[in-house]
Amino acid sequence: MIALLFLGFSAGLPFLLVFSTLNARLADVGVETATIGFFSWLGITYSIKVFWAPVVDRLKLPLLDRLLGKRRSWIIFAQAGIATGLYLMAHVDATAAPEMMALCGLLVAFSSATQDVAIDAYRIEIAEERLQAALAATYIFGYRLALLVAGAGALYLAEFWSWQVSYEVMAALVGVGALTVLIVREPSVNHFAAAQDIAHKIEQEAARRTHLNPRLARLVGWFYAAVAGPFLDFFRRYKELALVILLMVAVYRISDIAMGVMANPFYLDFMGFSKTQVADVTKIFGFFMTIAGSLVGGVMVVRYGVRRILLLGAIMTAATNLLFVVLAQYPPNIVTLAAVVSADNLSGGIANVALIAWLSSMTSASFTATQYALFSSLMTLPGKFLGGFSGIVVAGFGYAEFFLVAGIMGVPAILLAMFMIRNGHRLDALAPRNESKPDAEPVSP
């Protein structure tokens, strides 16, 4: 559990440094608003990690694999990429060379997404099933602490020293995760034996029916078990509801993610708050409100069922975006900002817990990691893509109009959540056997 606390910290540290903290830096040094919006596309790497997850799962890194083992070798390899990218970002002038800043940010984002895949695999394999909930909770707490450091901490360092010092310190903090990897043990239990058995059967069948040579037959077996199997299992199980479920996953966080791209530029440029004020309200105060929302959401999921809270979270997320429309109409006021940010983070915590609980209830025990990687990738991809155009909307119409559009973008999630409630019995009947039904069993946040 201690190891997962520090690995969670390592996983959460790079995220804001290529997202909202980077947006604040770009706004602070005078980069155009439209350009800032395009930088949000760096976050798409987190949304497409499912495409290279099978490589991380199966490929052995030369030398590192013999020294550390498969899981730890991939984690420390990814951490090296994160630290290198952050150090380069510390020394790049974003106004003079925005393309180079984007490339360095891409290195950080790609390495960070790869680290997420490897740490998830490590967490699943390092302990038996009864300990997984405790490990996940510890991991999430470490992740949240890292968001606080990479958010408020980075802004404080930039305010009192410089952005260069801020990103250099963040690069050094990657060493926390690297030291953890060197200390902890490699998992001794292979939880992917079932996938290997499937690969072997497909290999034999392919060789028998198509007369492929052994190497091609082995490739067919690997591809099916690692890539095709999880998707075929999902579509066979949920049939015609599969596409509706995936659509729900894709649109649920669009409103929240699209709004987040322009949040820091709105606070700093339009409202005129200082970096320390933004850090105090949105990072530190917002951190505790998010934790509170997560706790409230967890209790509500247990009491009322995950689908009802999924609907509540969708409504609250869209409604709090409209509060930013009101905020943009009045002169800057730190108390008003705190109230709106509180509502936004509280609703975000509730919605996030409900979404995670719902997605977890739909994964098959045979393909948990890959299917959850599919869900987690899909739930952020549309929002990050549309968020890239947020700067253009702000530049052409204004912040109030942008937040109004972001709120309206939450309507499809509300309608689909209502559909899920109406079809709850069908979804329960199709859910994987021997796993908790989302509206019958308590779900830990």
CATH number at 166 reads 1.20.1250.20
Question: Which DSSP string do the residues of 171-198 spell out, in sequence order?
Answer: HHHHHHHHHHHHHSPPP-S-TTHHHHHH
55 contacts: CB under 8 Å, gap ≥ 6: none
State the average pLDDT over residues 330-351. 86
Which residue's entry shows tokens 């984002």?
109
Domain count, the chain: 3
State the average pLDDT over residues 304-331. 88
State the average pLDDT over residues 413-423. 90
Alpha helical stretches, state H, 18-69: 20-28, 33-39, 44-47, 53-58, 64-68
In a domain, 383, yes or no: yes
Asked if residue 338 has pLDDT above 70, the reply is yes
Question: Which DSSP string do the residues of 232-282 spell out, in sequence order?
Answer: HHHHHHHTTHHHHHHHHHHHTTHHHHHHHHTHHHIIIIIS---HHHHIIII
Q: Is residue 290 located within the same domain as residue 307?
A: yes
pTM: 0.68
In a domain, 439, yes or no: no
State the average pLDDT over residues 309-322. 90
In a domain, 168, yes or no: yes
Asked if residue 435 has pLDDT above 50, the reply is no
In a domain, 301, yes or no: yes
In a domain, 233, yes or no: no
Q: What is the pLDDT, as a whole number, of residue 352?
A: 80
Q: Is residue 35 located within the same domain as residue 179?
A: yes
- Going by pLDDT thresholds of 50, 70 and 90, the confidence category of residue 203 is low
- Going by pLDDT thresholds of 50, 70 and 90, the confidence category of residue 399 is confident
Asked if residue 15 has pLDDT above 50, the reply is yes
Please state, in angstroms and as integers, the Cα–Cα distance from residue 437 to each residue in 121, 124, 302, 363, 424, following that order.
24, 21, 11, 11, 10
Share of the chain above pLDDT 70, in %: 82
State the average pLDDT over residues 260-289. 78
The domain of 416 spans 239-430
DSSP, collapsed to helix, strand or coil, labels residue 301 as: helix
Structural contact between residues 147 and 16, judged by C-beta atoms closer than 8 angstroms: yes
Q: Is residue 331 located within the same domain as residue 350?
A: yes
Pick from 249, 266, 269, 265: nearest CA to 379 = 249
> pLDDT tens across 155-194, in order?
889 888 988 899 999 999 999 999 999 998 887 755 455 5
Q: Is residue 243 located within the same domain as residue 366?
A: yes
Q: Is residue 213 located within the same domain as residue 263?
A: no
In a domain, 246, yes or no: yes
How many Cα atoms sit within 13 Å of 106 on the Cβ side? Answer: 10
Q: Is residue 318 located within the same domain as residue 423?
A: yes
Q: Is residue 211 located within the same domain as residue 146?
A: no
Q: What is the pLDDT, as a whole number, of residue 385?
A: 76
> pLDDT tens across 105-152, in order?
899 999 999 998 888 778 777 776 556 555 666 777 788 889 888 888
Q: What is the pLDDT, as a whole number, of residue 136?
A: 63
Decide which of 424 and 343 is more confident.
Answer: 343
In a domain, 277, yes or no: yes
Q: Is residue 212 located within the same domain as residue 252?
A: no
